[in-house]
Amino acid sequence: MAKLKFVAQAEGDSSFTLKEVDIPAAAGGLGFKIAHASWDASAGNSFNWATDEIASLGVSNVVREKKGVYRVTFSQNFSSANYTITASTGSEDYNGVGASPRTLSVLLESQTASSVDVVCERTDDAVNEDNAYMGIIVIGS
């Protein structure tokens, strides 16, 4: 049986406390799956998920397809490609001449039930980059 923990305020109570609720697996648990991954892509061509993974849950592999483009493969397939992804990238203070923030975007034509491709690119000229921090969170059924 899964347990859901959250901070809540009971009716008539003035304080917030940690509450715990049992969610029977037979009832479908939370009703959705979550996967996340973060990785250090600064190695470029030498990227290796086994050594460059920062953190993950529900992700079996991340592969560098080409500069700035990474395929994230899920440990268990989602029911379809209709899931939501939030992506982020960072690692530096992008300032100075020619500096530009980076964005990590989903390549929609590659979104399947088993994997998704993301691309990290500069926001000023759309040049793909391998950044020291890339991460995604996926929520779906």
pLDDT tens figures, 67-102:
999 999 999 999 999 999 999 988 776 666 557 777
The pLDDT confidence band at residue 113, using thresholds 50, 70 and 90, is very high
The pLDDT confidence band at residue 1, using thresholds 50, 70 and 90, is very low
More confident position, 14 or 123? 123
Distance (Å, whole) CA 112 – CA 43:
27
Question: Which token pair is 110?
Answer: 């590659």
Report pLDDT for 63: 97
Report pLDDT for 32: 79
pLDDT at 140 over 80: yes
Distance (Å, whole) CA 79 – CA 71:
18
Give the long-range contacts of residues 14-21, CB within 8 A, separation 24 or more: none
pTM, 2 dp: 0.76
pLDDT tens column, 12-57? 677 766 666 555 544 445 677 889 999 999 999 999 999 999 999 9
The answer to whether 58 and 34 are in contact (CB under 8 A) is yes
